[in-house]
């Protein structure tokens, strides 16, 4: 248990770079009656990220930060997170690697979701690699973020059978549907009431 809600909802920022379907599932989760979190900020390094639309739809503050200069970007980001009193960060399809210094500021309070059964298939193109290697199973993992890529302590995993007919696309679709269920479950596990 890393976080305690006390009497308030944990103020959460979700970092995205693209579609934002995990962001949407976290917003839905935050709106449930007994949800321990509120989504107070959406961060994107990509101004064209489709997921930013959810900020408009659900009236959530957005911050777009270019990572061309990473040091500067992270400095700005830390200020922004402080300004919004953010306590928990959920990376959801965020394609940038955060520095040790940034992570130190939110130790044990940054989660990530990854579309493989970690420690297998860190990085990109996980579904294609799993199929090429004739794996019987794939899945998704929610883990704490440390300074090494896709390597922090695992919170929850969901295993999914790879069928003979599966393509990277069909597998990605199945795994993504499970991701949407797994992320809220993992958040509940790390937040103590
Ligand atoms: C997900 O598969 C997530 O696990 C990975 O990137 C994808 C993001 O999808 N890190 P979305 O933007 O949440 O739809």
Q: Where are the alpha helices (DSSP H) in the chain?
A: 21-30, 53-57, 70-83, 100-105, 126-132, 168-190
- Out of 84, 114, 143, 180, the active site residue is 114
Binding site membership of 139 for ligand 1 (Cβ less than 6 Å): no
C-beta 92 within 6 A of ligand 1: yes
**Residue 48 known to be catalytic:** no
DSSP string, 155-169: EEEEEEEPPTT--HH
Q: Are strands 154-161 and 137-144 parallel, antiparallel or unpaired?
A: antiparallel
Spacing, Cα 4 to ligand 1 middle (Å): 27
Q: How far is the CA of 20 from the centre of ligand 1 (A)?
A: 7
Tens of pLDDT along the chain (193 residues) come to: 556 666 689 999 999 999 999 999 999 999 998 899 999 999 999 999 999 999 999 999 999 999 999 999 999 999 999 999 999 999 999 999 999 999 999 999 999 999 999 999 999 999 999 999 999 999 999 999 988 888 899 999 999 999 999 999 999 999 999 999 999 999 999 997 6
Whole-model pTM? 0.96
């Amino acid at each position: 248990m890393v976080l305690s809600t006390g009497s308030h909802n944990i103020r959460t920022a979700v970092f995205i770079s693209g579609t934002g379907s995990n962001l949407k599932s976290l917003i839905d989760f935050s709106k449930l009656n007994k949800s321990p979190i509120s989504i107070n900020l959406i961060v994107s390094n990509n101004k064209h990220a489709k997921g930013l639309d959810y900020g408009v739809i659900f009236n959530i503050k957005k911050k777009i930060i270019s990572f061309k200069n990473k040091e500067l970007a992270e400095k700005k980001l830390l200020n922004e997170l402080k300004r919004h009193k953010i306590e928990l960060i959920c990376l959801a399809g965020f394609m940038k690697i955060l520095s040790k210094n940034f992570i130190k500021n939110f130790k044990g309070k940054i989660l990530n979701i990854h579309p493989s059964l970690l420690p297998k298939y860190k990085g990109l193109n996980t579904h294609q690699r799993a199929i090429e290697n004739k794996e019987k199973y794939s899945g998704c993992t929610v883990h704490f973020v440390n300074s090494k890529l896709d390597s922090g302590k695992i919170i929850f995993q969901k295993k999914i059978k790879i069928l003979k007919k599966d393509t990277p696309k069909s597998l990605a679709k199945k795994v993504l549907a499970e991701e949407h269920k797994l992320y809220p479950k993992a958040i509940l596990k790390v937040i103590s009431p």
